[in-house]
Structure 1
């Protein structure tokens, strides 16, 4: 029972402060990983892949995934509720007052500074994923050889996908399916 309370609390905090969408939850998830030991940074990368491949918002999918991993179906439900509750409450409060205060210079200043903060959180989360996926930091720390730092297969595949996405106009599901096939065929 205590684990469910902790799940709700951790994801409530995440939902309250992760301004900017699903990727903005990533720094909070790194923190949850370190403070609880429920999952590793490597597990988190796998969770991102699953969450991005399934319907729904990334943050909600991640909360559900972590909650289910930690405490089954009740954990998935509780973690998801913890994540979305702050948003529901905040939206209700803001909708009551926004029209009254939207021209207020203080409100404008807050929104003006929240945008770069959200961007920084997303970039930080993105770097965490890049670091885990594209680099072998532990291997490099042992050997000190620069060649051991890079995961060349992942870097090359990411670049190929980047250019495919940039120069073709396909649905994201195509790229996800392509990635799954390449992963199976090449034992990525």
Structure 2
């Protein structure tokens, strides 16, 4: 078990926004791996609500009291970033079977690019199966209540972005 504790896992994503599902997965992974790096992706085909710096700052605030968790932004190929951090595991969350095909393809491509890096999948906690960053953004944008789906300070940041009537549940 000690050899596993020295292992560094990189959990990549856009985290736009960081949800309670992400937080749960990181905390559970930190019990398995010695260090979990939350790697906030700057390169993405998605149009983010928050800038890379904002997403990094939000995640840093969430994990500020957990010495096992580091938060960093990155750009470029994930395997290159993982190697630069002297990590050997890419951590991915799985909510449902629908996630599997995409995640499987990515894991195989990363394995092709660097055979020394393993991808480890962790199932999401059942409480967060229905949560995704995309859904949370849509709910908040249209005035729905996102309390309990994201950490409170993330909800506050989303309220700032969408306006006070959105994301609070008020008027929804």
Q: TM-score, normalised by structure 1?
A: 0.27
Higher helix share: 1
Which of structures 1 and 2 has the bigger CA Rg? 1
Higher strand share: 2
Q: TM-score, normalised by structure 2?
A: 0.29
